[in-house]
A and B are shown apart, each in its own frame.
Chain A
Amino acid sequence: MQSSPGGGVAPRLSPVGRRILLACSFILAAALGQMNFTGDQVLRILAKNEKQLSLLRDLEGLKPQKVDFWRGPARPSLPVDMRVPFSELKDIKAYLESHGLAYNVMIKDIQVLLDEEREAMAKSRRLERSTSSFSYSSYHTLEEIYTWIDNFVTEHSDIVSKLQIGHSFENRSILVLKFSTGGSRRPAIWIDSGIHSREWITHATGIWIARKIVSEYGKDRVVTDVLNAMDIFLEIVSNPDGFAYTHSMNRLWRKNKSSRPGIFCIGVDLNRNWKSGFGGNGSNNNPCSETYHGPSPQSEPEVAAVVDFIMSHGNVKALISIHSYSQMLMYPYGHSLEPVSNQEELYHLAKDAVQALYEVHGIEYIYGSISTTLYVASGITVDWAYDSGIKYSFSFELRDTGRYGFLLPAAQIIPTAQETWMAIQTIMVHTLHHPY
């Protein structure tokens, strides 16, 4: 395949491998006191045709080596990632520009990234010891959330426990919080957030809701009634690899991080990988697409873990999947315009939930089936849930409607969580009062 003379990083190296290599380079540099990556950038170039590709290959062959390919020139329209030392930046960019090669700066300063990683590694040793100093009005890293989960479970071990339901593609734990006051395999409500990693408001809302549940149990009539009869499962980080990536490299990453031999783009849209209408309209079979559905239903470990859990539990009665943005509350189907059999009931439940939400801060949500309200989307979580017998399956799209989009300011976390909670509560109460 491709190779970069002069000891460049092989393009196929996984991001984890790349990071390890970066870290090793740094350690080596520190040891030797020589290498410094300050000002070095990683550029992403999209070559439009073979001619442009060969121009890039020319760069590859330069002696002394001027650039170092992280993802080498392969085919037109596939991105080429190239590390450029600071001293060569001006020349290389001029070269690219003069040949009409469009590029993007992926990493502005590698040294900054290395420093941040070093800082993060040091910081992980000083993690919080309790949830009382955890800020619910800030966004957190994966490590911070996982630490918070451990503390949270310890502090509320009477009703909360932590379950590991599987591992992500990059081998991170997939965790679920179980809220239960007893019984054995009680009818349950499933809530997930973070299936799309860039939707940070959803994880933040999940965390806030967890705390709300424990603080209201025994005090609030509704929560107490629900938890006395049902269990709640809450998966806060449904896509841990993607989430870590939004912190380290690409804030707007959506998919998971799975890769397959021979396929140059990474990641599957976890909300197109479910076994309901899989591969239909509103999903894409191009691995480079943001809505790539993956090679087959449930091919992704993050999806398989949830499927296995819910199927073996066998008594989940409501499923709520939280996304952003658009301000919508929706029910199946996404893959078809055909209404579900209890569409009337779901319509009215959604209407009530949205009204409860509105009464908190005056935020307006639209509601309806996914295909008629948002867009046709196939292989989605709630369609699968519904077809698996979970009558009350809902999908939220939280704030806002586009002004900030995925980059919702942290100041809106608590108001968003407060209003979303009222809608979720409405759904939980209805589920409680309509056993099946």
Chain B
Amino acid sequence: MQLRRQPLSAPRPGDTRPAAQRLAGPLLLLLALQGAGASGGPEDSGWLQDAEPSSRLLSQAARAALHFFNFRAASPSALQVLENVLDGRAWVNQKKEYKFDLVFTTEFYSTEEDEKRLGQCSAQVFFRNEKPRPAVNVTCSQLIKKERRQEEDYHLYKLMKQLKSPLNAVSIPDSHGYIAPSLRPVWDLAFLGSSYVMWQKTTPFLQYYMSQISSVKQWKTNDDAIDFDYTVLLHEFSTQEIIPCRIHLVWYPSKPLKVKYHCQERQTPEEASGTEDGSAMALTELSNF
């Protein structure tokens, strides 16, 4: 079975074939079992490869991988966002587990327009039973040296410690999309915390973006670490809902991020909550905060 590669050209056409997802059904499958013949594919049976995965589905999986990557890196100066999916394969099985194999490019979140440097990542993303919090295995090319990154983080940290208090700051960004330069580190740190939450909440059908910091409840820097308690508005794309999430994080440069959160789900249903068992089993730092 031919491996389908995403064409890298601008502009990219959307698929001429039905997109997967939606609450409707699973991926549209062309052939029967791959079996042992799959190049680099899994050997356990039951996996059916989607011959033409939609670019949306692949981008969604790539973003989930990046949320996890950003959270793990715990580096507000080196946050990555998805630039383009270069190659992606998708599988689903009867147990409604989804698996993705991706190669994608990234760019710095806090970049200025003219200093666009692209990184590259490869990732495997696994969703169990359409649940959130996918298991992610991701490796990214090193865009800047580790020492340099640590310097940048420490620089951000010092800036943050000087901030008297962004407690009085109204929404970040403001309605016009503006973030005051002095508040930029706050935004980056908030995005880092939100990355954890967005990773936790992403399913094959739900994907999140951070819209705005709507309030800052606490900003403590008297001890060594930055202790940041804030509410962020997440935008879920398929339902178009805005979900307020209260996030409390503790960050110190080069240390793992500690974060707790609670999202105010407006209505019911099908999407799992952050407290439910996600697809990723092993997740240590979090519980004892």
Contacts and interface: CB of A to CB of B under 8 A. Distances in A.
Interface string B245-257: 0100000000000
A26 B8 CA distance: 59
B181 interface: no
Interface of A is mostly: loop
A404 to B, nearest CB: 5
A375 interface: yes
B175 A139 contact: yes
Interface string B1-29: 00000000011111111110111100000
Interface in B250-275: 262, 264, 266-268
A31 B18 CA distance: 64
Interface stretch (A211-219, A284-292, A305-313): A284-292
Nearest to A103: B264
B176 interface: yes
A247 B175 contact: yes
B54 interface: yes
A290 B242 contact: yes
Q: Which of B18, B55, B231, B268 has the most CB of A within 10 A?
A: B18
A347 B16 contact: yes
B45 interface: no
A407 B173 contact: yes
Contacts of B10: 358, 362, 364
B209 interface: yes
B289 interface: no
B233 interface: yes
A286 B14 CA distance: 30
B241 A368 contact: no
A281 B23 contact: yes
A407 B175 contact: yes
Nearest to B244: A104
A373 B23 contact: no
B209 A358 contact: no
Nearest to B174: A407
A12 interface: no
A290 B55 contact: no
Interface of B is mostly: loop
Nearest to A290: B240
B264 to A, nearest CB: 6
A252 B242 contact: yes
Contact of B241 (A290, A328, A330, A404): A290
Contacts of B266: 46, 288-289
B238 interface: yes
Given A281-B24, A288-B267, A373-B19, A407 B211 contact: yes
B49 interface: no
A289 B241 CA distance: 7
Contacts of B54: 372
A405 B240 CA distance: 12
A386 interface: no
A376 B24 contact: yes
A367 B171 CA distance: 33
A354 interface: yes
A200 B211 CA distance: 14
B37 interface: no
A61 interface: no
Interface in A245-282: 246-247, 251-252, 254, 269, 281-282
Given A77-B267, A281-B22, A367 B14 contact: yes
A77 B219 CA distance: 30
Given A337-B18, A371-B19, A408 B177 contact: yes
B159 interface: no
A369 interface: yes
Nearest to B23: A281
24 contacts: A102-B246, A104-B244, A104-B264, A105-B215, A251-B171, A281-B23, A289-B239, A289-B266, A290-B242, A291-B240, A328-B14, A330-B14, A367-B11, A368-B16, A372-B15, A373-B56, A375-B237, A401-B82, A402-B209, A405-B209, A407-B173, A407-B211, A407-B212, A409-B177
Given A77-B267, A102-B262, A351-B13, 15 more contacts: A104-B264, A105-B215, A108-B215, A254-B240, A281-B22, A281-B23, A282-B22, A289-B267, A290-B242, A373-B14, A375-B238, A402-B81, A403-B109, A406-B211, A408-B177
Interface of A: 46, 77, 102, 104-105, 108, 138-139, 200, 246-247, 251-252, 254, 269, 281-282, 284, 286, 288-291, 328, 330, 337, 347, 351, 354-355, 357-358, 362, 364-369, 371-376, 401-410, 412
Rank and list the top 5 A-B pairs by shortest CB-CB distance, nearest first.
A368-B14, A373-B14, A409-B177, A290-B240, A407-B177
